[in-house]
Structure 1
Amino acid sequence: GVLIVLRPGAGDGFSIGHLAALGAAVTGALTSVIVRKIGQQERSVVLMLYPMVLTFFAMGAMMPFVYVPMTVLDLGMTAVMAFLGMLGALGIIAAYRTAPAVIVAPMQYSQIIWAALYGWLFFNETVDFYTAVGSAVIIASGIYIVLREGTPSVSQNRPVLENRSRMDTGTQPRISSWLKRFERPGDQA
């Protein structure tokens, strides 16, 4: 689906943009594996801090060569973008903590669909045939993977061996179950 949307052979041929997209996909997959591996023991703040510090220093080193002063409006939009990026990163960390990577990763491909929708809404970009077909393939693949991985591997006739009731029923505030997703397992008081 992603290759249908990108169409690397169409138009200008293979460009630096295609290479950047491939690099982003590879490093994004590596990040997902790392978050899944160490995310159970480490706090969300720490998982977000180290990449941001590295990005700060890398971009700071390039800044003298490419910096152009920003307008106040651009600074405000950059602040909104940073805030939304932070919320997205927290969501991804919470998703990889609570669900298998094979379920979470296909959902990230929906970014292509959201980008096409936002481009249409805010920038008057049109969604062409290949983008629509590629998006349909991505959606169908994601649904198939979720259904395949969500199918129980044991018999339906097997008795329940553990209590499946919610642990946070009672007098605790409702937000507590949401906040637990951002704690390390050893941090409970």
Structure 2
Amino acid sequence: MSKTVLTGVLSTVFAYFLFSLQDAAVKWLVVGIPVMQILFVRSVTIIAICVAIGRKEVVIEAAHSPVRGPMIIRSLLLFSAWLCYYNAARWLGLAELTTLYYAAPILITLLAVPILKEDVPPIRWLAVVIGFVGVVVATDLLGTGLAISWPVWLALLAAVFWAISTVLLRKTALHERTIVQMTLSNFFLALFTGPALYFYWTPASLSTLALASLTGVIAALGQYAMFEGMRRAPVSILAPFEYTSLIWAFVLGLLIWGDVPKHNVFLGAALIFAAGVTIILGERFGRRAVS
């Protein structure tokens, strides 16, 4: 595995850790304020960070960026994914919801072939399958008796939207600076969520708004790491590492809420770790075979 690809992998793993930390903060916040309000504050915070760093140059670049069109589409996909995901969460348990949503890495790998023209060797497919089996084991889906229902379709639809947006990110990441993409993406998300605040805005304490803003800071770091990872490695390599966020979720659940994982969680985590090792070894020895 080249240093560039390895950097992309490490950036992606770090990004999913930050996104898991963001989700933990959102779990605290949704008790008091609506998701739409959280997303708006989060997006505005990220825009403020981007403008503070890039100043007026980043605003000018964003206004004239050649990826404005694709970023609008990607922002709509992300917005749709969040709406489907959080609505499905009202009826589905964490195990079902997590497992269904983690169909995304498989879809990402599938889409990488026709859309990005990536050559996906069997070792990457194997890693995706191993990772997904790890998620099924960790969340004990087999013991839940999950049946096809409207919430199930919503969770799967969220996975589809996320997968398409991730593949699209790879295309835009190669043609624009990360900070410009972050500015555009969050501007459109603020534009989508802003009008809904007329109906959903809930008065919040300064501490709650501060935590919502902190969520934006964490998300900004996560987005930067993810965008940079996409610039350095093909999405079919990075896709299985999305499963690592499940491990972070269980770790944070233990540290913050005292949720003690069951034995199946550790077995599933081992399989997810094996999926990552499979990718790394496959890329390393595959390059040696070629050379």
One of 268, 277, 284 as aligned partner of 1:143:
277
Q: Which amino acid aligns with 1:36?
A: R
Q: Equivalents in 2 of 1:126, 1:2: separation in Å?
A: 17
One of 208, 211, 220 as aligned partner of 1:74:
208
The residue that corresponds to 2:232 in the other structure is: 98
CA-to-aligned-CA distance 1:10-42 (integer Å, 9 cap, x gap):
448457765554344323322221121221111
The residue that corresponds to 1:33 in the other structure is: 167
The 8 Å contact of residues 244 and 273 in structure 2, kept in 1 or not, is answered as yes
The 8 Å contact of residues 135 and 272 in structure 2, kept in 1 or not, is answered as yes
Q: Which amino acid aligns with 2:253?
A: G
The 8 Å contact of residues 35 and 47 in structure 1, kept in 2 or not, is answered as no
Which sections of structure 2, spanning at least 5 residues, go unmatched?
Answer: 1-133
TM-score, normalised on structure 1?
A: 0.70
Percent of pairs identical after alignment?
A: 27
Cα offset, 1:101, TM superposition:
1.8
Which sections of structure 1, spanning at least 5 residues, go unmatched?
Answer: 159-189
Q: Equivalents in 1 of 2:162, 2:276: separation in Å?
A: 17
Q: Equivalents in 2 of 1:66, 1:7: separation in Å?
A: 35
Q: Which amino acid aligns with 2:279?
A: I
The residue that corresponds to 2:116 in the other structure is: none
Structure 1 stretch displaced more, 32-41 or 88-97:
32-41
Cα offset, 1:75, TM superposition:
0.9
Structure 1 stretch displaced more, 78-87 or 55-64:
55-64
Q: Select the structure that is richer in helix.
A: 2
Q: Is 1:4–2:137 an aligned residue pair?
A: yes
CA-to-aligned-CA distance 1:57-84 (integer Å, 9 cap, x gap):
3222332333321211111111111111
Structure 1 stretch displaced more, 87-96 or 139-148:
139-148
The 8 Å contact of residues 120 and 127 in structure 1, kept in 2 or not, is answered as yes
Could you say what the CA RMSD is over the residues aligned between the two structures, in angstroms?
2.6
CA radius of gyration, larger in:
1
One of 30, 52, 69 as aligned partner of 2:186:
52
One of 248, 253, 256 as aligned partner of 1:122:
256
SS in 2 for 1:108: helix
The residue that corresponds to 1:87 in the other structure is: 221
Q: Equivalents in 2 of 1:126, 1:86: separation in Å?
A: 30
Structure 1 stretch displaced more, 85-94 or 40-49:
40-49
Q: Equivalents in 1 of 2:168, 2:221: separation in Å?
A: 19
The 8 Å contact of residues 8 and 18 in structure 1, kept in 2 or not, is answered as no
Q: Which amino acid aligns with 1:60?
A: G
TM-score, normalised on structure 2?
A: 0.48
How many aligned residue pairs are there? 157
Structure 1 stretch displaced more, 87-96 or 136-145:
136-145
**Structure 1 residues 3 and 22 mapped into 2: Cα distance closer, same or farther (>3 Å)?**
farther
